[in-house]
Amino acid sequence: MFILPAIDIHKGQCVRLYQGDYATASKVAEDPLETAKTFEANGATWIHMVDLDGAKAGYPVNTEIYKNIAQNTNLKVEVGGGIRTLETIGAYLDLGIARVILGSVALKNPKLVADAIKEFGSEKIVVGIDAKNEMVATEGWLETSDVHYIDLAKEMIAVGVRYFIFTDISKDGTLSGVNAHQLEALAKATAGQCSIIASGGVHTIEDIITCKQLGLYGTICGKSIYQGTLDLAEAIQTAETLQIRPMQIEDYPALYALWVSCGNGLNNLDDSEEGVAKYLKRNPTTSFVAEEHGQLIGAVLAGHDGRRGYIQHMAVSESCRRRGIGSKLVAVCLDAMRKEGIHKVALVAFKRNQLGNAFWEQQGFTVREDLNYRNLALSDMIRYDPE
């Protein structure tokens, strides 16, 4: 489960509200970028940001702050508040924002949500459902509708939404604990159809445990971090739901889908189910997959010939990158190699690209231009990239 520390912006300042009331805005930090960097240093991979001025005005107001954080940290930034058009969504994404939050517009203009999913993909869009007494609130929580929060979720799922942030406004900023009852009801009503992020009321580590036990995708933490009732690093460690385990041939359908989605080069012989089965039979202990909530989100296929090792495939789902999953998979793989006496490892069948080169160099692989397919293991942790 992800922990998303929150920064709300009002008049250019980092603030928190009490139950969504703008009159209660209190400054909680001096500088948004420095605050975000502190979150990153404590292990955060996502940050949740709300343009409170934009939510009230109906259009973005504090865009430069979000751009600055997206472009000067490694955090994935999700932003909401005043986003009403496809042009605004596209502009935010072009700035490096990872995910855009659509709130009031989901109720008032569901066609826009459907169009956004179609144009930008479900990974880039999250719908914020904010409720008072279980009824959806809009316009910066200033208006309350007669639509039940679960009914809106089901309507949004029907148009392709796969991510939701649910906020019980009565809990927001109160440090009174999450509304486990409403979160559980939403999770059960939408089981297997979407990913839910809890927001509002987080106080202590017990709230993180509760959300994790509910099988939620994420939990947003704001005032609890600023007031010290929740330690961010501890929360991230407690929330961890990633599991890395040995690869099995039963994983093949999910593996193949992952490789295709990541653009891995495939061939009908080595990458067929039969080919992978033979691969795993020869080297049963050196290939691994990463799973979360029962879904395969990363994998490394590797083996050795008794003298030198090789990594055939390594992939992480696009939606899960910048979490260090790739590095964890490679570390486990290389450790397994070392236990079998293999200290020279090369990459095979990887295409050169700037992002990939940087990743593999960070893992200790050396870029070599003088290698060919039959000359793999020349030094420890060789990197190999045939054309």
Inter-residue contact 329 to 300 (CB < 8 Å): yes
Q: Is 385 a catalytic residue?
A: no
Longest dimension (CA), the chain: 70
90 burial level (CB within 10 Å; 0-12, 13-18, 19+):
middle
The DSSP element (H or E) to which 277 belongs, if any, is: helix 273-282
Out of 8, 53, 172, 207, the active site residue is 8
CB neighbourhood size of 338 (10 A):
12
Q: Under a CB-based contact definition with an 8 Å cutoff, are residues 317 and 273 in contact?
A: no
Compute CA distances 339 → 223, 306, 330, 332, whole Å. 46, 12, 14, 11
Closest to 70 in 3D by CA, of 121, 29, 33, 116: 33
Active site residue 130: yes
Letter string b/e over residues 365-380, b meaning 16 or more CB atoms within 10 A of that residue's CB: beeeeebeeeebbeee
CB-hemisphere CA count at 13 Å for 232?
24
Catalytic position from the list 51, 130, 251, 271: 130
Asked if residues 303 and 284 have their Cβ atoms less than 8 Å apart, the reply is no
Tokens of 84: 């009403």
Decide: 112 and 85 in contact? Cβ < 8 Å: yes
CA–chain centroid gap for 57, Å, is: 29
CB neighbour class for 351 (10 Å; exposed up to 12, middle 13-18, buried from 19): exposed
Catalytic residue numbers read 8, 130
